[in-house]
Structure 1
Amino acid sequence: MKLAQVTEGFAVSPQLRPEELQQLAQGGYTTVICNRPDGEDPDQPTVEAMRSAAEAAGIAFHHIPVSGGTFPPAAIRAFAQVRKGAEGKVLAYCRTGTRSITLDALANTEQLTTDERIGRAKMAGYDLAAMRDKLTQ
């Protein structure tokens, strides 16, 4: 499991496996957000398998799928709502973590400047500089 710590209470990662969710719970994570549509890759665990494993580990599970480089306003709002309402540490994942860090930057729950959001993503290992125009809207 490869986590990219964005803040003390938020991280992103590439695809998780159901058996890793108990370890997340032991690390203090209370909420997981899946940003992948079901069936994106043939070896990807299903959303239901991930939800079941999360619930068994005592972790709240949210499915906010995005694909094709498109970030619909409804997905951004849903992501922001989960982030704001979560009690404890949140982990968002997708195939590589890029969609998840991008949704976090677009949701901007902490009201950061564009440069701060791009910088925070870069420190976590993700380059969002090409998204500058979308982040300033």
Structure 2
Amino acid sequence: MELRKIDDEITVAPQITVADVSRIAELGFKTLVANRPDHEEPGQPAMEDIERAAREHGLDWVYLPVASGNILDSDVDAFDPMIRDAKKPVLAFCRSGTRCCVLWALSSARRKPADELISKARHAGYDISGLVPRMVQQAGKPQ
């Protein structure tokens, strides 16, 4: 399991397994967010199995599937209140972690400057500098 901490509230990760969930709980995460649709690729763990494990280990579970490479404003609109209201710290996962990082950055752009978000993402191993126009657009949206 590869964890990429963005800040004290959110960490993102590539696809996790059911076996990873106990370690996620041991590490102190409170909410587990799945941004990867079920059946995105063959052999991917079923989200209902990960959900069951999350609940068994006392984690809040959020299933917010987003199509890879096609993050819509409606996806950001759903992610924003969820991440603000979630019990922290949050671990969000998808195939590579990028989708989760992009959702976080676009929703956070409503409250924080783009350069701060780009820096945090870079420290977690993601280059989101190409998102600046979308972050500027999100900055004008109500919170």
Structure 1 length normalisation: TM-score? 0.94
Aligned counterpart, 2:104 = 104
C-alpha contact (below 8 Å) 2:109/2:117 kept by paired residues: no
C-alpha contact (below 8 Å) 2:5/2:11 kept by paired residues: yes
Matches within 5 A, 1:19-58: 19-58=19-58
Instruction: Specify the code of the residue in structure 2 equivalent to 1:21.
Output: V
- The CA deviation string for residues 31-82 of structure 1, in whole angstroms up to 9 with x for no partner, is 0111111101111111111111111111111111111422222321221122
Runs of 4+, deviation exceeding 3 Å: none
- The CA deviation string for residues 98-126 of structure 1, in whole angstroms up to 9 with x for no partner, is 00000000111771101111111011100
User: Percent same amino acid among aligned pairs?
Assistant: 34
Aligned counterpart, 1:116 = 116
Matches within 5 A, 1:59-78: 59-78=59-78
Unmatched runs of 5 consecutive residues or more in structure 1: none
Task: Report the RMSD for the aligned CA atoms in angstroms.
Answer: 1.4
C-alpha contact (below 8 Å) 2:29/2:89 kept by paired residues: yes
More strand by share: 1
* Cα separation, 2, equivalents of 1:130 and 1:74: 20
State the secondary structure of the residue aligned to 1:40. Answer: coil
- The CA deviation string for residues 2-51 of structure 1, in whole angstroms up to 9 with x for no partner, is 10011112100000001111111111101011111110111111111111
Unmatched runs of 5 consecutive residues or more in structure 2: 138-143
The number of residue pairs the alignment matches comes to: 137
C-alpha contact (below 8 Å) 2:21/2:53 kept by paired residues: yes
